[in-house]
């Protein structure tokens, strides 16, 4: 079988280090009947060991050559290959109790994480390998340089844990960056949630649009409608110092005042 050449346009870096594969599969700990969806299976580094532990697996693969290769390698009753761009796939349509895994292409990691939020009600957990720098932003605490829009949006929906780093030499071709593995578990229905997701997204995006400026200046035209003291937001606070719960309160106050649509 001819060797597949990694395609830059798909951000392909194939995982080749068996010890890293074993560590990821151990972290996922799949059980036979689990409903696992693998994004970007590539050359099956994770697909094969996952199938050893599962009755069935669904794989989402954008590269038609790799999709065809997967269909040749595995029987359809064991591996369902969805040949599509993961950004266009309706993950909620796969049902409930989903466990989503993958070595995500760096060039679409943030858009894909936001896209998957739409299916969070049906997801049990997600295990992803990503650029370490992205995972550091995902799990960052308020007050740190890495804390930003990605941190706030994802932490409003998931409990996240960075598991371990993966060096460039674990891949072929090696990326120019260090990777890491993250575990994401959707927060329960009783989590603090904004009255309007759209308003929350709008406030967070604007708050971090000028992260060096004081938040009250960045949100100047909305500032009079915000109960800053009640939310515990200091007059001089910048967006990177404000916890997720306060952003939710901020968005709710703007919806209640009529400054933003509910």
Q: How confident is the model over 78-124, as pLDDT tens digits? A: 999 999 999 999 999 999 999 999 998 888 899 999 999 999 999 99
Backbone phi, psi, residue 151, to 5°: -60, -50
Backbone phi, psi, residue 208, to 5°: -95, 5
- For domain 8-186, the question of CATH label 3.30.70.330 is answered with no
Separation CA 126–CA 145 (nearest Å): 25
User: Is residue 37 a contact partner of residue 101, using CB atoms and an 8 Å limit?
Assistant: yes
Residue 12 pLDDT grade (very low, low, confident, very high; cuts 50, 70, 90): low
**What pLDDT score was predicted for residue 3?**
52
Residue 13 has pLDDT above 50, yes or no: yes
Domain borders along the chain are 8-186, 197-257
Residue 2 has pLDDT above 70, yes or no: no
Residue 8 has pLDDT above 50, yes or no: no
Q: How confident is the model over 161-206, as pLDDT tens digits? A: 999 999 999 998 898 999 999 999 999 999 999 999 999 999 999 9
Which of 9, 8, 73, 88 minimizes the C-alpha distance to 41?
Answer: 73
**What pLDDT score was predicted for residue 7?**
45
Q: What is the DSSP letter of 114?
A: H
Q: How confident is the model over 30-68, as pLDDT tens digits? A: 999 999 999 999 899 999 999 999 999 999 999 999 999
**What pLDDT score was predicted for residue 262?**
81
Q: Three-state SS for 30?
A: coil
Separation CA 224–CA 149 (nearest Å): 23
User: Is residue 183 a contact partner of residue 27, using CB atoms and an 8 Å limit?
Assistant: yes
The answer to whether domain 8-186 and domain 197-257 are alike in fold is: no
Q: How confident is the model over 121-160, as pLDDT tens digits? A: 999 999 999 999 999 999 999 999 999 999 999 999 999 9
Give the CATH fold of the 197-257 domain: Helicase, Ruva Protein; domain 3 (1.10.8)
């Amino acid at each position: 079988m001819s060797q597949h050449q990694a395609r830059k346009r798909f951000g392909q870096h194939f995982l080749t280090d068996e010890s890293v594969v074993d560590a990821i599969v151990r972290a996922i700990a799949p059980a036979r009947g689990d409903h696992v969806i693998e994004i970007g299976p590539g050359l099956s580094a994770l697909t094969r060991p996952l199938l050893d532990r599962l009755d069935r697996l669904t794989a989402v693969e954008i590269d038609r050559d790799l999709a065809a290769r997967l269909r040749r390698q595995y029987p359809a009753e064991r591996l369902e290959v969805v040949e599509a761009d993961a950004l266009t796939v309706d993950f909620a349509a796969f049902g409930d109790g989903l466990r989503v895994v993958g070595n995500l292409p760096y060039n679409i990691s943030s858009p894909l994480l936001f896209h998957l939020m739409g299916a969070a009600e049906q997801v049990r957990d997600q295990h992803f390998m990503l650029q370490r720098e992205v995972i550091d932003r995902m799990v960052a605490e308020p007050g740190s340089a890495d804390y930003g829009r990605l941190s706030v949006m994802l932490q409003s929906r998931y409990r996240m844990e960075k598991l371990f780093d993966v060096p460039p030499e674990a891949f072929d071709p090696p990326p120019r960056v260090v990777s890491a593995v993250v575990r994401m578990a959707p927060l329960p229905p009783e989590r603090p949630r904004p009255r309007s997701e759209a308003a929350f997204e709008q406030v967070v995006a604007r708050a971090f649009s000028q992260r060096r400026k004081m938040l009250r200046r960045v949100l100047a035209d909305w500032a009079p409608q915000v109960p800053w003291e009640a939310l515990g937001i200091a007059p001089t606070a910048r967006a990177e110092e404000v916890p997720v719960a306060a952003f939710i309160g901020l968005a709710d106050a703007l919806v209640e005042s009529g400054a933003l649509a509910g």
